[in-house]
Structure 1
Amino acid sequence: MSNHQSCYRADPLIELFVDQLWTQKGLSDNTLSAYKTDLQGFDQFCQRTGISLLDADQTHVRDYLGYRFEQGIAKSSSARLISSLRGFYAFLVMDKRILVDPIALIKAPKLARQLPDALSEDDVDKLLAEPDVEDAIECRDKAMMELLYASGLRVSELVGLTLDQISLRQGLIRIVGKGGKERLVPIGEVAVTEIEDYLASARSELLKGKLSDVVFPSKRGSMMTRQTFWHRIKLYAVRAGISCHLSPHTLRHAFATHLLNHGADLRVVQLLLGHSDLSTTQIYTHVAKARLAQMHSEHHPRG
């Protein structure tokens, strides 16, 4: 196989497709490189079989997937490959280079949706109690974490939040999420109080006279990056002795999980999280099922 690789010449159609992706969709270099790698792998397989990408049919695709399975390649990698092939062959059909799409009837392997480790309610309490509100930066961080846990915002939505999106009197924030969809999210009394305290003192200290409509500026007075906020959360987790694996969306997941634990409806959680499709929220159904089983055993006469 190494001989084959050394004299392997990629089909120029791959470069043509990747160029078209770059011009039409403006994808990142990493994504384009992933497409190219996937397609070149299949191209090499086809060349060893003595055919070109234009000649490949459904059987060749299935054989290649089978070959990858034997090599122990992860399902997630094969799912991405199928996505790459789907795009490539759709392009060839559109370009009238082939009549039949060999990938049309092939389904991607089902992947288990991974949730980050869930923070318990005790852990959340410990995390939120950690910042020292006498310090301007930590006062800001506490307000941010309280708001994140109260609302289930994405971290990008939190750091980009502006003053005109918040109504503390009504206890609501207005979020423009993915795809320009707007949603109103209630935030609760605790978060309102923390934000009021922060706005009354720490924010002006951070801005040092600069003008900004960002609710939670960095110490330089500009919009904070998601990475900076993520490092701040990790710092408080270490200080609070929380050992479970954290992700930037840990508090968003805790928000959804704890709502379901307390009996919230999955569709309500979908609206609050800003998921356009209920199937995205359904990664939390194991939480809802566990809660239902517990309620059944506690309250049903034969539970």
Structure 2
Amino acid sequence: MSRAALDRLREQYLRHLTIERGLSANSLDAYRRDLARYTEYLAGEGTTEPNAITAPMTQAFMSWLRAPATEGGCELSASSAARIASSVRGFHKFMDEEGVIDDDVTRDLTSPKLPARLPKALTIEQVQRLLDAAGGDEPEQLRDRALLELLYASGARISEAIGLAVDDVIDRDMIRVRGKGDKQRVVPLGSFAQDALDAYLVRARPLFAARGSGSPALFLGVRGGALSRNSAWNILQRVAERAELDVHVSPHTLRHSFATHLMQGGADVRVVQELLGHASVSTTQIYTKVTVDALREMYALSHPRAR
């Protein structure tokens, strides 16, 4: 089999990802770059036949990605190499399932160990300052307050929040969120978010909707179209600036704060997993470590014999 044939298999896999997983154009471009690097490496080693690829070859490829440039390597970061390893494993699994290869040699392919990244959460007092700064009776202010209250009350991703339709407010205290892979979950809202959403729906959204063409989106821009991700980001930045917070705030900061504050309040990790829409509880368990670290810090500061 020629190099061109291996490249065709790569393109077949990318089409498979498009159809089966509905990946964005940016994600597909990342997969394409990763796998092009992989097939180019194999070709450089004289390997163009899928069944000729061995487990040591794939591991050597991983070492090459991390090796210093002075040694002929790519000198990639651990996170970049780990992403490429995931792409390679997915490609081999696809070829195995399609019967192109006799065995998936990447089952035991090891990725660089990534350091645990602790989410940066706001304190409850900082969240209060942020939400207070979003106050006001103008239509745009009512919308901004409702958006930020909803983000903190639900832990929704920004894409999930701006993707909500009016019909997704299924009760005054519940919303239906569509997450990754179009998976749906129902998330409750507290009284503050309920009140902010009511004020927006009654006093602001009808004004915006009258200027547009009938968008079903819950959050609208001033011209009546669905609020964009960039506009929502800018709203948060403006409000954070008014709140004079001395920390960086992003939409994901509110999601992290939602989860961290729930865990600190005693919520079960499985409940938090469901609310966040995590496919695996292992993703949610990072918030357990956040809570443990907070306890350790408080102990060190408070106990007379801690030091």
Is 1:63 the counterpart of 2:63 in the alignment?
A: no
Change (3 A) 1:23 1:296: same
TM-score by length of 1: 0.82
Q: CA contact under 8 A between 1:151 and 1:187: conserved in structure 2?
A: yes
Change (3 A) 1:189 1:42: closer
* Structure 1, unaligned runs of 5 or more: 1-9
Change (3 A) 1:46 1:213: closer
Aligned residue for 1:284, secondary structure, equals helix
> Which of 180, 183, 208 is matched with 1:206 structurally?
208
Cα deviation, 1:15-40, whole Å, max 9, x if unaligned, reads 20232134333255544443343334
Is 1:24 the counterpart of 2:16 in the alignment?
A: yes
Is 1:35 the counterpart of 2:44 in the alignment?
A: no
TM-score by length of 2: 0.81
User: By how many angstroms is 1:115 displaced?
Assistant: 4.5
Aligned residue for 2:279, secondary structure, equals coil
> Which of 129, 136, 140 is matched with 1:137 structurally?
140
Cα deviation, 1:199-251, whole Å, max 9, x if unaligned, reads 23122222236544433211111211122101110111122222322333221
Q: Which residue of 2 aligns with 1:225?
A: 228
> Which of 171, 176, 179 is matched with 1:177 structurally?
179
Counterparts of 1:135 and 1:102, CA distance in 2: 61
User: By how many angstroms is 1:277 displaced?
Assistant: 2.0
User: By how many angstroms is 1:48 displaced?
Assistant: 4.2
Change (3 A) 1:194 1:88: closer
Aligned residue for 2:285, secondary structure, equals helix
Compare CA radii of gyration and give the structure with the larger one.
1
Is 1:159 the counterpart of 2:151 in the alignment?
A: no
Counterparts of 1:32 and 1:174, CA distance in 2: 28
Letter in 1 for 2:54: D
Change (3 A) 1:90 1:13: farther
Q: CA contact under 8 A between 2:175 and 2:186: conserved in structure 1?
A: yes
Q: CA contact under 8 A between 1:165 and 1:175: conserved in structure 2?
A: yes
Counterparts of 2:247 and 2:133, CA distance in 1: 16
User: By how many angstroms is 1:293 displaced?
Assistant: 4.6
Q: Which residue of 1 aligns with 2:189?
A: 187
Cα deviation, 1:148-193, whole Å, max 9, x if unaligned, reads 1112122222222233332555x22233433444433221111122
* Structure 2, unaligned runs of 5 or more: 69-74
Change (3 A) 1:175 1:63: closer
Letter in 2 for 1:245: H
Counterparts of 2:7 and 2:229, CA distance in 1: 34
- How many residues in Structure 1 have an aligned counterpart in Structure 2? 293
Q: CA contact under 8 A between 2:118 and 2:290: conserved in structure 1?
A: no
Counterparts of 1:81 and 1:214, CA distance in 2: 36
Q: CA contact under 8 A between 1:117 and 1:245: conserved in structure 2?
A: no
Counterparts of 1:250 and 1:29, CA distance in 2: 25
Aligned residue for 2:251, secondary structure, equals coil
Aligned residue for 2:85, secondary structure, equals helix
Q: Which moved more, 1:44-53 or 1:227-236?
A: 44-53
Counterparts of 1:175 and 1:281, CA distance in 2: 18
